[in-house]
Amino acid sequence: MALLSNAAVLLEKELRTEYRSRELLTTTAVFILLVFMLFSITFHPTGSESQQFGPGLLWMAFLFAASLMLQACFLREQTNDTLSALRLSVSDPFAIFFAKLAANTLFLLLTELFMLPFFAGFFNVRILHVLPQLFLVFFLGSLGIAIPGTAFSAISAQARMRELMLPLLLLPVLTPVLIASTEVTAGLLDVQPAMNYSGLGLMIGFDVVFLTALWLFGEYLLEE
Amino acid sequence: MVKSIINAMILFALIALTAYLAFHYAPIEKTMGVIQKIFYLHIACAFSAFVAFGICFYANLRYVFTRQPKADWLGVSAAEVGLAFISVVLVSGPIWAKPVWGTWWVWDARLTLTFVLGLLYVSYLLLRSMIEEPDKRALFSALFGIFAFLDVPLVYFSIRWWRTQHPQPVILGGPGSGLDPRMRVSYLLMWGALTGLLILLLTARYRLEAMRASVEELRREAEAQ
Amino acid sequence: MKNLDSVLAAYLAGWAIFFVYYVSVSRRMSVLRDEVERLKGLLSKGK
């Protein structure tokens, strides 16, 4: 399929660009660490409070970090003026989004997994026994963040004050993702860990709806 | 000029009607007392706000597929007017809540949803103010508007689900408790009055946007000379 | 009646919001109307 092969080529480009500089991953990771630290300083949570607020803190940190990280997505194309070349290189404009989306999901997921041990250490939370389940939640959550995030990165690139506009556009829309992922994560990190399937269903539903919307309207997002 | 005077008069008439309904016609509710009367305004406004946002969604879709400026005018008008109605919901709600629940605000399902909805459309309007070129502004705000609207049912379901995960204290005296026939009439007429208000504000705002477009065109003509 | 002032406050606040919004739309409208007159004058002079 032309779409997949185009997307694969573009994905490789995205990954190679990041691999050369590694600026996105490192800055995002440090930002998340900062959020952990600030939370601990301002709330100095006790053991049980860490248990209670941990999942929420985790996902808020991811959300804030993502809304900063995703700006680079289309901004890079704008500053280097490569967007028109990109459009010409593919038959289906959705390939561009598919590639960027895959790259963003991957970057988010990598950062989240890297931060997980820090989270477990700082807030004294046991994670090893639910690691595969956490991976699933992180994947679905990252996808949920990345899909509207990639779309809105294209939108905010057209606006003034784009660094502020992207979080402003993205965060209200991500309310369902925040709610669902926090609840599912909380269930997994509970004293008696349990997988919240309705929450997972909600996350999958969100991903499907927005992926479809992106597929339907993607080409318009690329107009100049 | 005459048109806006007539509009203002209709506006006052509608407001007077809501006053009459709320304070004179509707009976006093048994369990909650007088404070229940706020619901007539509160619920009718919530409904009108959703209608406005639905119109905005329709206009957004229309613009993306037809690129007619009129669709853009309708979109921004509907979003602004919808936001006005949502503001009334978010103000009347807490005024009701303080005497009844003892607190101005709770993050219950309905209030949280209303708040997020308001934020979505504030972001929509902010985005518009940040894009100068009219065609781009119309297209990209329409696209955001579409995504935002598609998000609304997801927000609704997720918040409701979230509230089932954490059982809430039972709150007595919801809007539907003890529906006297005069209350039903009051709700209906209030809803009618506020729909009238919605149409009035929407057409006024639409005309404003249309005039803005003609000013743009005249300016371009003047510069060309 | 207790709470009557709350009801009054809610309704007054609601009407105030609608009224202020309508007034802001009207004012923006008259500003634009003046601008239309000005531009039309400019154009007719230029012709």
The total of structural domains in chain B comes to 1
Residue C42: pLDDT over 50: yes
Which of B203, B218, B220 is the best substitution to test chain C (most C C-beta atoms within 10 A)?
Answer: B218
pLDDT, position B203: 94
Give A2→chain B minimum CA distance, Å. Answer: 26
Nearest CA in chain C to B11: C19
pLDDT, position B167: 65
pLDDT, position B184: 81
pLDDT, position B11: 77
Span A189-202, average pLDDT = 91
Q: Which of C26, C36, C42 sits opposite B4 (nearest CB)?
A: C26
- The residues of A whose Cβ lies within 8 A of any Cβ of B are 148, 151-152, 155-156, 158-162, 165, 168-169, 172-173, 175-176, 179-180, 183, 196, 198-199, 202, 205-206, 209-210, 213, 217, 220-221, 223
pLDDT, position A200: 94
pLDDT, position B166: 74
Span A17-43, average pLDDT = 87
pLDDT in tens, A103-162: 999 999 999 999 999 999 888 888 889 999 999 999 999 999 999 999 999 999 989 888
pLDDT, position B172: 47
**Mean pLDDT in order along chain B per 10 residues (225 residues):** 76 79 74 79 91 96 96 97 95 87 82 91 96 93 96 90 72 55 82 91 95 90 82
Whether residue B154 and residue A206 make contact (CB cut-off 8 A), yes or no, is: yes
Q: Which of B116, B140, B165 sits opposite A175 (nearest CB)?
A: B116
From chain B, the residues in CB contact with A159 under 8 A are: 127, 130-131, 140
SS3 of chain B: the string is: CHHHHHHHHHHHHHHHHHHHHHHHHCCCECCCEHHHHHHHHHHHHHHHHHHHHHHHHHHHHHHHHHCCHHHHHHHHHHHHHHHHHHHHHHHHHHHHHHHHHCCCCCCCHHHHHHHHHHHHHHHHHHHHHCCCCHHHHHHHHHHHHHHHHHHHHHHHHHHHHHHHHCCCCCCCCCCCCCCCHHHHHHHHHHHHHHHHHHHHHHHHHHHHHHHHHHHHHHHHHHHHC
Mean predicted lDDT score pLDDT of chain A: 90
State which residues form the domain around B141: 40-167+178-215
**Which residues, other chains included, contact B149 with Cβ-Cβ below 8 Å and sequence gap of 6+?**
B53, B54, B56, B57, B60
pLDDT, position B179: 66
Q: Which of B42, B84, B219 sits opposite C17 (nearest CB)?
A: B84
Q: Which of B130, B139, B158 sits opposite A179 (nearest CB)?
A: B158
Q: Is residue B225 part of a domain?
A: no
Structure pTM? 0.90
Residue A219: pLDDT over 50: yes
Which of B112, B144, B163, B166 is the best substitution to test chain A (most A C-beta atoms within 10 A)?
Answer: B144
pLDDT band at residue A217, thresholds of 50, 70 and 90? very high
Nearest CA in chain A to B63: A220
From chain B, the residues in CB contact with A195 under 8 A are: none
pLDDT in tens, A50-95: 888 899 999 999 999 999 899 888 888 877 778 878 888 888 888 8
Residue A15: pLDDT over 70: yes
Nearest CA in chain C to B211: C32
From chain A, the residues in CB contact with B131 under 8 A are: 158-160
**CB contacts < 8 Å between A and B, how many?**
88
pLDDT, position B176: 52
pLDDT band at residue A8, thresholds of 50, 70 and 90? confident
Is this complex scored with an ipTM above 0.85?
yes
